[in-house]
Structure 1
Amino acid sequence: MTMQRDVHDELRARLHEAAEAHEPNRERILARIERGMAGQERTDHRATRPPLWGWARIVGATAAVAGMLAAGGYAVASAVKDDTRQQQTVAVSPTPVESPDATSRPPVSPKATPSSGGGAQDPVEPSGPPSSPEKSTPSAPATVELLPATDDDDDGPLWSDGSVDPHSNDFWAQSNVTVKAKQEVTALTVQLRIAQTGGVSSTGAWRSLPEDDFTLTVTEQDDFLVYTWVLKEGRTLAAGEWVFAGQYDHDRGGRDAKDDSYVIAGVSDGEDRSLGGGFAAQDDGDDS
């Protein structure tokens, strides 16, 4: 198949060259016409030929030349046409790419779930600063040591308080631990314990202090969801008031926080400090 195509290509190339090189010899044709006309005027024996025969020869010669030119032109045109036809290509449109699924949607925030009354409830935000939820440190152990429980919320220069955030709803809640220090704190561990009352699972955490100053660990121990913040070695906290918050989902309905608790261990004024407390049970009749 390739050899035949090469032969055809070579033939077309030669026909192109022959057509471009061919130039009709106009002077030769005119000379032949003049000789034919001059022959009619001779008085010798050839003058006896009928004039019609001389003109027939002239017309025949002219027609033969015209026929050769027409045949050559047709051959060149056919070769060019075949070459053009073989060089034509067909454009094919690319395969269409499917568009992304129009039904895909980002996940719905747990804070935008409907209330127990069946109507839609507007999303709520925690009362703390709008910082992104903290993530537990990858190197943190699977379990953490639980600090000894205590009901003393005041120890020298440190004071604490535990409360359920008012923006909590029937599906989601946030528990806040507030720490106040009258003097510099050189070591601090805050542990928040949320009792497993059904469907309790962490959705995030934050603190009002720099994130890089603390490591966070979130574990489940002894039917409690435990958040533990530890001040990194070499870091200190100036006197002030800070908030540590844990966020979590729970089963539908008003959740009772009476079994939740927090414990704080720190060093201030050169002495070890320990304090903690619980959370007041939520008022089921509170519509706020």
Structure 2
Amino acid sequence: MTDELRGLLRESAESHLPDRARMLARVERGTARPGAARRPRDRGRGRTRTLSWPRILLATLATAGTLTASALTVVAVVHTPEPPRNPTAAAPTATGRAAPQPDGSRTQDGPLWADGSVDPHSNSFWAQSNVTLKAGEPLTALVVELRIALTEGVKDTGSWRTRPAADFDLSTREEGGFLVYRWALKPGRTVPSGEHVFAGQYDHAAGGRDAKDDRYRIDAATGAAGHGAAVWGGFG
């Protein structure tokens, strides 16, 4: 509803509000007429009946009440708020982008178990972070996201996984202070039950690197009904 239309409705409502002073004056004039209270009522058929002043008052008040209710109805319509135009979006599923990384850890959820670790073959200039996944049932949807904090010298040098590369869409990007590796299972593909590893490889500044801020998250679905499971955590 536009502001112009609201204004027109409000003016219309105000124009129908009863004038209390004018109504009371009309009632007083009716009661002050000579002989008004003594005039006998004509009960004959086909002739107009004269109303006494109490009935005039009641009719006037009833009319005023009707007009007031109508005016309030119009004003209520004018001020009715419009519904929100931007409803909250639905949360992502396991087949879409992984949800934001929460704090703490949850390493098991139903048939899904995971662990994060720095590969023992890492050295003073290069490292590999492994996300190990164990599935108790075949997975019909899977998103694995590995986040490496952008400490000094961190730069992507590659990635790998124990499952066939053709089964996944892989993306690597820098986002919010992290180097992010993301593997998403392609529609129609499945991951069998068992143990699987997803790894990101990167250079870093000389010396030991602290992995305390690195994170991982896995979102998966199992079975035809697509029952969801999610696990997340850090790196020891």
When normalised by structure 1's length, the TM-score is 0.46
CA displacement at 1:268 relative to structure 2: 1.5
SS in 1 for 2:159: strand
CA displacement at 1:148 relative to structure 2: 2.2
**Matched letter for residue 127 of structure 2:** A
CA displacement at 1:146 relative to structure 2: 5.5
Partner Cα separation in structure 2 for residue 146 and residue 184 of structure 1:
19
- 1:15-164 pair list within 5 angstroms: 147-150=99-102, 151-164=105-118
Q: Cα deviations across residues 219-277 of structure 1 (Å, max 9, x unaligned)?
A: 00011000000000010111111000000000011000000000001102431111110
1:271 aligns with 2:227: yes
Paired position in structure 1 for 2:196: 242
Name the structure where strand makes up a greater proportion of residues: 2
- Could you say which structure has the larger radius of gyration? 1
**Matched letter for residue 275 of structure 1:** V
Partner Cα separation in structure 2 for residue 149 and residue 217 of structure 1:
17
Paired position in structure 1 for 2:215: 261
Q: Cα deviations across residues 57-106 of structure 1 (Å, max 9, x unaligned)?
A: xxxxxxxxxxxxxxxxxxxxxxxxxxxxxxxxxxxxxxxxxxxxxxxxxx
Equivalent residues of 2:98, 2:218 under 8 A apart: no
Equivalent residues of 1:192, 1:246 under 8 A apart: yes
Equivalent residues of 2:98, 2:219 under 8 A apart: no
SS in 1 for 2:146: strand
Paired position in structure 2 for 1:32: none
Partner Cα separation in structure 2 for residue 190 and residue 240 of structure 1:
16
CA displacement at 1:180 relative to structure 2: 0.3
Paired position in structure 2 for 1:232: 186
SS in 1 for 2:124: coil
1:181 aligns with 2:135: yes
Equivalent residues of 1:147, 1:191 under 8 A apart: no
CA displacement at 1:184 relative to structure 2: 0.9
**Matched letter for residue 219 of structure 1:** R
**Matched letter for residue 261 of structure 1:** R
State the identity as a percent: 58
Partner Cα separation in structure 2 for residue 198 and residue 223 of structure 1:
11
Q: Which has the higher contact order (CA 8 A, sep 6+)?
A: 2
Matched residue count: 137
**Matched letter for residue 222 of structure 1:** G
CA displacement at 1:149 relative to structure 2: 1.9
When normalised by structure 2's length, the TM-score is 0.56
Equivalent residues of 2:141, 2:222 under 8 A apart: yes
SS in 2 for 1:212: helix
Partner Cα separation in structure 1 for residue 206 and residue 218 of structure 2:
30
CA displacement at 1:147 relative to structure 2: 2.4
Paired position in structure 2 for 1:101: none
Paired position in structure 1 for 2:153: 199
Gaps of 5+ in 1: 1-143, 281-288
Q: Cα deviations across residues 124-146 of structure 1 (Å, max 9, x unaligned)?
A: xxxxxxxxxxxxxxxxxxxx955
> For structure 1, which segment, 250-259 or 261-270, has the greater mean C-alpha deviation from structure 2 after superposition?
261-270
CA displacement at 1:209 relative to structure 2: 0.2
Partner Cα separation in structure 1 for residue 97 and residue 136 of structure 2:
27
Q: What is the RMSD computed on CA atoms of the aligned residues?
A: 1.3
**Matched letter for residue 196 of structure 1:** L
